[in-house]
Structure 1
Amino acid sequence: MVRDVDVAVIGGGPAGLAAALACRENGIEDVLILERDNYLGGILNQCIHNGFGLHLFGEELTGPEYAQRFIDKVEKERIPYLLNTMVLNITKDKMVYAISPKEGIVKLKAKAVILAMGCRERTSGALMIPGTRPAGVYTAGMAQRLVNLEGYMPGREIVILGSGDIGLIMARRLVWEGANVKMVCELMPYSTGLQRNIRQCLDDYEIPLKFNHTVVQIHGKDRVEGVTIAEVDKDRHPIPGSEEYVACDTLLLSVGLIPENELSQSAGVMLDKVTGGPIVDEYRHTNIPGIFACGNVLQVHDVVDYVSQEAEIAGKGAALYIKNKFTEGGVCVKAGAGVRYTVPQIIRSKESFEIFFRVDDIYINGSIVLNHGGKVIYSRKYVQVTPGKMEKLRLPSNVLDKMQEGGSMEIRWVNAEEVAENDEACMHSVSQGM
């Protein structure tokens, strides 16, 4: 039997919860959340550290506390959800097929679908580190689950590869539990995590952070006995003679997150080669009519507050789609010099909205510049930008009025000395609150 719903939300984590609430707030009553785990809240349930909610609630919350705020709202609004429900396939015409022990096979015909499946960690198999396969190699997220939810210690003498935020947070967490975190090795010349986590999780506990270093060998048969690390050159190749053996019983990997987009691809959604997430417009609408995406399935976020805000945009977009209030056409947004990617990649409306982006290196004292039709239509000064921090840029409606239909807009980094004097009129500094 096929069940009709207005909006099917795939995922009951912070993105899915916020998207479902936004649908209800924008006049869509028939909303259903599908969650594969046996509880709502997603990954936040194992993030027991504080620091969540500063942007959205103006106070510091733990991950479970942050999730509970949204779960309570979902319960209050009586938005239905199915737990232990694994979505198997989504089609272009928005048929959703799922399975669960309680419901059996679930078939939904949705007017709109919101993708909020989150992301997964890159594993040791993706890194192809030489050596055997002993016990003691974990992703940082798995170690976090073991310690915070299951009550197990992954090890006592620990090396962490990668300076992603989960790895940094787990370095501190493991020290609190009595482990000796010997070092964090980072392949790049900069951290991929937030600076505040480096200060609070490494510097405060005197844990060394070795840039331009990686693990080139794992030692041990039944259990990790040690790793060999080495310095890398500018091409990220190990430098002969720089090898160093480090005795340890555990290797934690914090080497990147991958958006979970197998379902998106089955529906024909086009993916961005850099983000690994769908290509969307400012309402997070994909190339498949009626399918939207938000949260870490779209782009990997640093701050969960931004996940919730983005999900609200997708929820509003789904409501507008159902009400037939969508516009066609649009302008493509392209990443230029110094910028790795932008979200959204398409602009359709003339309403004020935010562009999220990441740069490809550390840049100091310059501007993010938007070019359209051979002209600078907007620019904002930055003291510093880093790859580890996702930036967002709000475009006011008077800037969007300057854009012509079709073509493309480029967003790029320009050093201070390169900014032409005749562009100063359109400069908007951070101090102006733009």
Structure 2
Amino acid sequence: MSSSLRFDRAHTDDLMSFLAASPSPYHAVANAAARLEEAGFRQVEETAAWDGSAGGKYVLRGGAIVAWYVPEGAAAHTPFRIAGAHTDSPNLRVKPLPDTGAHGWRQIAVEVYGGTLLNTWLDRDLGLAGRISLRDGTHRLVNIDRALLRVPQLAVHLDRSANTEGLKLDRQKHMQPIWGLGDVEEGDLIRFVAEEAGVDADEVTGWDLMPHANEPPSYLGRDRELVAGPRMDNLLSVHAATAALAAVAGQDDADIPYIPVLAAFDHEENGSQSDTGADGPLLGSVLERSVFARGGTYEDRARAFAGTVCLSSDTGHAVHPNYAERHDPTHHPVANGGPILKVNVNMRYATDGSGRAVFAAACEKAGVPWQSFVSNNAMPCGTTIGPITAARHGIQTVDIGVAILSMHSARELCGADDPYLLANALVAFLAG
């Protein structure tokens, strides 16, 4: 395995720090960028002219980041090796008119984002994070990381059927958090957020805010062999890909036959159709500009894309001990069994036999065990950025990830070794 990623739980410790410090996609890309800066990468603006110099560079756009490393002497037609992921997680998002309430309770109006498990947001102490947009066109990150909000569940005395017939939640009526007592005051929340951010409320002209659970990530179990935490889907992959790209950039350029890339997109959980989503032009634009900045032509661009491979890394389902019948009977990924190869012949995942060979070779090179995942034929299969990336850019894409439990919960569960194993497989893949 790569000597640049230590297997003394330091990687998993750092993942937990990354999760805790990244309560929104905007924080996630800022933290990924900070790690890349430490590895010698520099930010380039999309509005500036790019040069073809060697070294590490990255672009930030909203909740997305694309970073790449150009080895010294790389030709314009050099193919890319891409580690893809997404920065968003299913959660609650603050509405444009956030101040609401009833019967003496002050509440915050929220909208449900993505396919979140609604019940996991009940009776949790929630903070508030995201970004605010200012009158001068700049943005300010906000993270109020304390018990500020709570979505209270109805007492069992008032819902006797909750434990027998199942909890039924109305997304509009039952998910609005409380945050105080008294009369509703228009502009109250944004005044409070502005004060926390150290700006004048009159300067705030827009916001992208979301509650987050305050409980920090932690090891779990008798032998601390599991990790529980928020937003593993899919910040676990963002963190692993960032660590892997930084590790590859630290190697001898002569040993890097490809141009390694990190592409972490926003809005995967609601279809990827945005200027920062995988179905937008961001990745293609960055890759093309990289080719052209190195003096390449459209022919060089076509040659580079034809030899490019993307590993789309997203979490998948570990076999659930209480619901094993929901899984395919012959495919039971387990925690700490290594990363999973995700297959669906209907192309909900982009993996084919050729892609399987690429992933197997990377795992073999890294000395990392791996597993196969396929959905039960009777159960609908989820999807990822993989098929979108393959179809939009015409590049070979393979869907992989880490097997977890409680996917789309406010707090998910994975094996403590798997994040490190994934990162090492990505190092081997990116380095070729």
Tell me which interval the TM-score lies in, with the shorter structure as reference length: under 0.3
Which is helix-richer, 1 or 2? 2
Highest RCO, 1 vs 2 (Cα 8 Å, sep ≥ 6): 2
TM-score relative to the length of structure 1 = 0.25
